[in-house]
Structure 1
Amino acid sequence: MYYLGVNFGRTVITVGVVDENGEIIIKGSVPTLKYRGIEDIVKDIATLCIRVVNNAKLNIDKDIVSIGIAITGIPDKKDGTIVYSSYFDYHTVQVKSILKQYINLPIYIENDANCYGLAESRWGAAKGFKNSVTVNIGQGVGAGIIVDGKIYNGAFSGAGELGHHVIVVDGEPCHCGRRGCWECYASEDALIRDAKILSIKYPKSEIFKMVNGDFRVMSYNTPFEAAKMGDKYAVELINKYIKYMAVGVINIANILQPDVIVIGGKVMEQGEYFLDSLKNEVEKHHYGDHLSNTLRAPEIKLSQIGYDAIIMGAAMLRE
């Protein structure tokens, strides 16, 4: 039997057909186009689900067990609604009931970072650990908390919004309406923002040269590559970025004390260059590190699955 996993992303919707071992056998994508109403977007999800299943030479009524939808925001899993999404500016919008008009299958809804964390705990870097936190670094910062092998949702399904815990009082403005959130300093968008500011201030920097002054082609990896070339401005920027990243990781470790913290997103492409620096920063400032194994810092790993983890985790959602 097979399952459908849907990543209802900020810019792209991706649907995958997933088998019982978590393997994605086929997937497809369409633009989200967030300016449209939820009815049109969910209709696109339904159309994409049907198309992907047909391309897999399967029958959606006979071969597919259920559909799991990973969303950006806080879900009501019972009603199948998005209670709140700051990025989409959604306030209690229907998803399950609209999708049911097109596809008559069990439908489950969950936060995308939780789906990421679920997949990593079953098949990825957190496999074999009972308690883990997976942090997904993208346009924002999301986190999936796994306790005793299960998603921890909290009292109102909003647990894990760690990208919105404040690390700088009165800091950078966040799209959530507050200031100083972790994702304002640790997200891909945050690093790109700071890299642009730095290259404008220092046009002789390697960052400026790498994009030839065209900030439209600036990527998350640009300042990392400039730092590897020895550019002092880029090195300073990356060191500052990793310090902000470490503050959030240390807070997670001190509050939740998981066995392992998994970091996912484009930062995975930086491999040990990023991971070793992050580990060193965490070890320097983690509370209780001097107590050896009594209060040791959790293991820190890079995701072993990547973006497909969201689809895989969504496909495995159950009651």
Structure 2
Amino acid sequence: MNAIGIDLGGTWIKGVLMQVETGDMIKQLYHPTNGDKDWKQAVAETVSELRNVASDPVSAIGLSAPGLPNVTNQYIAFMPGRLSGLEGFHWGHFLGSSVHIVNDAHAALLAESRFGAAKGYKNVVMLTLGTGVGGGVLINGQLYQGNFQKAGHVGHIAVGDEGERDITGMPGSLEDAIGNASVEKRSLGRFSSTYQLLEAYKQGDYFAQWLWLSSVRKLAIGISSLINCFSPDVVVLGGGIAQAEDDLLRPLTDFMTLYEWRPGGYVTPIKLAQFGDMAGAIGAASFAISSEPGFS
């Protein structure tokens, strides 16, 4: 069966027509969020384009977006400060079809758990390391959304009790410790992006090495805390910062030996996500098909 997945981001609208049983992507589309068209209309046109290339009927439509969906996953209920007009906007009414809405980090988790790095695991914690830090939790094979759909906001756990409060009011948050948005502040203005920080780190800049390793140490503390809470089969790291690969995994592995509780010597595996920028769209399609009556 075919499903359409849309990932609505601040920069790009990404769409995929997917064969759900296999995860094969039949067609991918990219449109700028703030291009020539209103972004709501651009979403509608993306859905229409994908419908037109489908040889079989489209069974479900899913849309991933930042923010907290309402309890029935029909619209984003809370998303202050970004994509004005998104809160409360009912996509099913607008598109004239059933549309299932899911948080973007939750969608990335679903993509990895069904087709990617976490395939075959029932209990998974995923962290998306990018501008901020998002994530999701899979329990017994099911996405855990929690009360008010807030579950999985792993970037807002505390890895310290000092510093400014983050957007949720949390001091010393994991998001502020490693998210790209805080690099300039953390580096006292020396670096404007994690990419710049890592380039200096690789060239032997002592300040950059101290700063990056301090951030990775806090990430290890955060992951170890999540392992204590959820005891997952695997932890998956996605997002742009995870593209650092060995420059992230090597020091993270060393720090995990200090902080992870390992009864019986068991080490929780940490894997890099397999899907890149289409993870949200793939996960949205997967969420939609699992949400339709009669499908699983």
Same fold per superposition (TM over 0.5): yes
Quote the Cα distance in structure 2 between the aligned partners of 1:128 and 1:16: 23
- CA shift for structure 1 position 120: 0.8
Residues 121-160 of structure 1 mapped to structure 2, 5 A cutoff: 121-160=113-152
Quote the Cα distance in structure 2 between the aligned partners of 1:161 and 1:259: 19
Residues 104-253 of structure 1 mapped to structure 2, 5 A cutoff: 104-195=96-187, 197=188, 199=190, 218-253=192-227
Alpha carbon RMSD of aligned pairs, Å? 2.5
- CA shift for structure 1 position 177: 4.8
- 1:117 and 1:313 in contact (8 A); partners too: yes
1:100 paired with 2:70, answer no
3-state secondary structure, aligned to 1:67: strand
1:292 paired with 2:255, answer no
- CA shift for structure 1 position 76: 1.4
Counterpart residue identity of residue 58, structure 1 = A
Match of 1:25 in 2: 26
3-state secondary structure, aligned to 2:10: coil
1:277 paired with 2:251, answer yes
- CA shift for structure 1 position 98: 4.1
Do the aligned partners of residues 253 and 91 (structure 1) sit closer, same or farther apart at CA in structure 2, a change above 3 Å counting? farther
Match of 2:42 in 1: 44
Q: Runs of 5+ in structure 1 lacking a partner?
A: 200-206, 208-217
Aligned length: 287
- CA shift for structure 1 position 279: 1.5
Match of 2:294 in 1: none
| Percentage of matched positions with identical amino acids | 28
Residues 301-312 of structure 1 mapped to structure 2, 5 A cutoff: 301-312=271-282
Quote the Cα distance in structure 2 between the aligned partners of 1:243 and 1:89: 33
Match of 1:213 in 2: none
Q: Runs of 5+ in structure 2 lacking a partner?
A: 292-296
Quote the Cα distance in structure 2 between the aligned partners of 1:169 and 1:46: 44
Do the aligned partners of residues 9 and 98 (structure 1) sit closer, same or farther apart at CA in structure 2, a change above 3 Å counting? same
Quote the Cα distance in structure 2 between the aligned partners of 1:110 and 1:31: 20
Do the aligned partners of residues 77 and 7 (structure 1) sit closer, same or farther apart at CA in structure 2, a change above 3 Å counting? farther
- 2:128 and 2:239 in contact (8 A); partners too: yes
- CA shift for structure 1 position 161: 1.1
Do the aligned partners of residues 24 and 238 (structure 1) sit closer, same or farther apart at CA in structure 2, a change above 3 Å counting? same
Q: Which has more radius of gyration?
A: 1
